């Protein structure tokens, strides 16, 4: 579960004083689950992230070490090896295990946050006709120190860059209040459609290299195509910059004709005027293959990367942006938005399920329960009260001075004296419901007991009207 909030007052930090800001806040475990789900759903995504991780972040403590230049050097070596028939880099990328490798997983999470920052900022700018520089962003993650963290959260914050703001996010807040989930869907859907179409176009260009007949073309064109395909994968390929340099290195090592080598060097590195030294045939051949080649390296200025207002330096951005990961994550979020209510079996995992839902809370949890158990209240204490989250418990009065319900009520009365717990008893309660921050309703008997384990049917509802209706009813009962 993820939560989005629009802030219309001061309080986030010095960069957002007296302006509005949009926060996309991820519970750490939830972000991990989202990333792993998306990676598991697609070999393409897994291989792209594996490649970028190996080149940019492997064996590093933080994701923001400005490794772009070194990463391009490593990729050039991999492209050169692939050109010679050694797809080692591609094979290693396929073997990266994001589930077991915490370092790789952290890299994927930061890459997703960075990608979503750009995608959502650009989409908001398009929605309101704003200039890109009118909205800034920063991200926070334990594995990234791109910007100074102001909290212990894992989140993206989009904010207006002028004191007093421009009014875009205030308007967006009003749209969220009026239309709720529909507004989120309208924001995300065009992004997913665009990224999907762009991905299909790029992959089509990559596939076409395999079927291209180079018999009547310049030899340099075939070399460049071979370098693009040198990672031995149906999905990933070296960056075009590395392909150009790899071809030059290959020709140099092969002791090709000096003039021909100079021709390639001039054309590929642009160190001097290629028109003075390059023959038209080789220059046009290289231009033709680049025109038809996949120049988007799972992220480009056309889809994800920005030339301005970015937390990462120019040479770092290709490695910490991922079009496919961003599309996959937004698709999952969109699916949740389009299906806000769900019913499922707890599968005899009541305690873990309860802890997961309570851990989402940030401000307030309302609990309505026919009966209580000491273990249930213990989890409420650990997951909520120790973090000063407001909790209100509404339950039936004790019928005797023994049993789990009686003991749990006594604990609630004690906690009400020292914590943020409010406690009320009332006759006639027959349904078990949790309301989390007014955005999520959980219906079902998910109260762990120290003496029994059972399966329960759980209904989860993120619809705004369902949450508000329950809160109105709850306030009348309490």
Residue 74 has pLDDT above 80, yes or no: yes
**Are 323 and 433 in the same domain?**
no
Averaged pLDDT for residues 314-319? 90
Is 72 part of a structural domain of the chain?
Answer: yes
Task: With respect to residue 467, please indicate whether it lies within any of the assigned structural domains.
Answer: yes
pLDDT at position 201 is: 93
Both 316 and 347 in one domain: the answer is: no
Q: Rounded to an integer, what is the distance from CA 383 to the centroid of its chain?
A: 25
Q: Residue 23 pairs with which residues in a beta bridge? A: 5, 157
Q: Note whether 353 and 451 are same-domain residues.
A: yes
Closest CA to 138 of 325, 343, 310: 310
| Tokens representing residue 321 in the block | 């942006």
| pLDDT value for 183 | 87
- Residue 411 sits in a domain whose CATH number is 3.30.870.10
In a domain, 416, yes or no: yes
Q: In the predicted model, is pLDDT for residue 442 greater than 80?
A: yes
The rounded percent of the chain whose pLDDT value lies above 90 is 41
| Cα(319)–Cα(12) distance, integer angstroms | 29
Residue numbers of the domain that contains 130:
2-207+297-335
**How many folded domains does the chain comprise?**
2
Lowest mean pLDDT among 28-32, 235-239, 249-253, 423-427: 249-253
For residues 323 and 472, state if they share a domain: no
394-438 residue pLDDT tens = 999 988 878 899 999 999 999 999 999 999 999 989 889 999 998
Per DSSP, what are the bridge partners of residue 440?
Answer: 436
Instruction: Please tell me whether residues 62 and 12 are part of one structural domain.
Output: yes
pLDDT tier at 20, thresholds 50, 70, 90: confident
330 & 419 share domain: no
| Final residue belonging to a domain, choices 310, 335, 360 | 335
Q: Which two tokens stand for residue 287?
A: 């231009």
Q: Which residues does 179 contact at the CB level (< 8 Å), separation at least 6?
A: none
Residue 243 is assigned to a structural domain of this protein: no
Quote the pTM value. Answer: 0.82
Spatial contact of 448 and 435, defined as CB atoms under 8 Å apart: no
Chosen domain end from 284, 307, 335: 335
**E strand segments, 301-358:** 341-345
Same domain, 120 and 201: yes
In a domain, 68, yes or no: yes
Report the distance separating Cα 69 and Cα 60, nearest Å. 15
**Shared domain check, 121 and 18:** yes
Do residues 38 and 152 both lie within one domain?
yes
Q: Does 218 reside within a domain? A: no
Arithmetic mean of pLDDT, 70-84: 90
Name the domain boundary from 335, 364, 383. 335
Query: C-alpha distances in angstroms, 256 versus 209, 219, 262, 386?
Result: 24, 12, 10, 71
Could you tell me if residue 454 is inside a domain?
yes
pLDDT of 272 reads 29
Cβ atoms of residues 319 and 55 within 8 Å:
yes
Residues 330, 346 within the same domain:
no
Looking at the domain assignment, is residue 160 inside a domain?
A: yes
User: What pLDDT is recorded for position 65?
Assistant: 64
Between 270 and 283, the more confident residue is 283
Mean of all residue pLDDT scores within the chain: 83
267-283 mean pLDDT: 44
Question: pLDDT tens digits, residue range 128-165?
Answer: 998 888 898 888 888 886 554 455 778 999 988 877 77
The candidate with the shortest Cα–Cα distance to 300, out of 316, 323, 320, is 323
For residues 107 and 47, state if they share a domain: yes
pLDDT of 340 reads 84
Q: Are residues 309 and 401 in the same domain?
A: no
């Amino acid at each position: 579960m993820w939560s989005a909030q629009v802030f219309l007052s001061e309080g986030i930090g010095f960069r957002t004083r007296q302006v509005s800001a949009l926060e996309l806040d991820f519970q750490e475990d939830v972000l991990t689950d989202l990333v792993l789900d998306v990676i598991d759903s697609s070999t393409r995504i897994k291989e792209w992230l594996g490649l970028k991780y190996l080149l940019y972040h492997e064996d590093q403590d933080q994701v923001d070490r400005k490794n772009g230049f070194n990463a391009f050097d490593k990729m050039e070596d991999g492209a050169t090896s692939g050109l010679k028939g050694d797809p080692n880099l591609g094979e290693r990328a396929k073997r990266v295990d994001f589930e077991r490798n915490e370092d790789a997983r952290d890299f994927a999470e930061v890459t997703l946050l960075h990608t979503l920052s750009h995608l959502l900022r650009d989409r908001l700018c398009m929605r309101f006709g704003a200039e890109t520089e009118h909205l800034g962003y920063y991200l926070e993650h334990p594995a990234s120190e791109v910007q100074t963290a102001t909290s212990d959260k894992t989140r993206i914050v989009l904010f207006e860059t002028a004191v007093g703001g421009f009014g875009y996010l205030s308007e967006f807040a009003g749209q969220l209040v009026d239309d709720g989930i529909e507004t989120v869907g309208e924001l995300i859907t065009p992004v997913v459609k665009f990224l999907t179409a762009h991905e299909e176009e790029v992959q089509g260009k990559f596939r076409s290299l395999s079927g291209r007949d180079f018999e009547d073309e310049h030899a340099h064109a075939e070399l460049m195509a071979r370098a693009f395909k040198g990672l031995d994968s149906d999905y990933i390929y070296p960056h075009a910059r590395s392909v150009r340099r790899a071809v030059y290195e290959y020709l140099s090592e092969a002791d090709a004709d000096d003039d021909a080598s100079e021709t390639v060097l001039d054309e590929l590195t642009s160190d001097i005027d290629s028109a003075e030294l390059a023959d038209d045939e080789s220059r046009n051949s290289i231009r033709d293959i680049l025109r038809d080649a996949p120049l988007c390296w799972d992220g480009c200025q056309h889809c994800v990367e920005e030339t301005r207002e970015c937390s990462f330096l120019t040479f770092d951005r290709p490695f910490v942006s991922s079009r496919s990961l961003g599309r996959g994550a937004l698709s999952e979020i969109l699916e949740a938005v389009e299906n806000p209510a769900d019913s499922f079996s707890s599968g005899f995992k009541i305690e873990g399920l309860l802890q997961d839902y309570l851990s989402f809370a940030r401000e307030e949890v309302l609990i309505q329960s026919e009966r209580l158990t000491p273990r249930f209240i213990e989890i409420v204490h650990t997951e909520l009260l120790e973090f000063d989250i407001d909790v209100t418990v509404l339950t039936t009065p004790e019928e005797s001075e023994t049993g789990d319900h009686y003991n749990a009520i006594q604990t609630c009365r004690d906690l009400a004296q020292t914590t943020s717990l409010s406690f009320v008893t009332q006759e006639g309660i027959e349904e078990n419901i949790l309301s989390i921050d007014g955005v999520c309703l959980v219906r079902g008997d998910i109260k762990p007991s120290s003496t029994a384990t059972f399966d329960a049917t759980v209904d989860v509802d993120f619809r705004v009207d369902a949450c508000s209706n329950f809160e109105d009813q709850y306030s009348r009962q309490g």
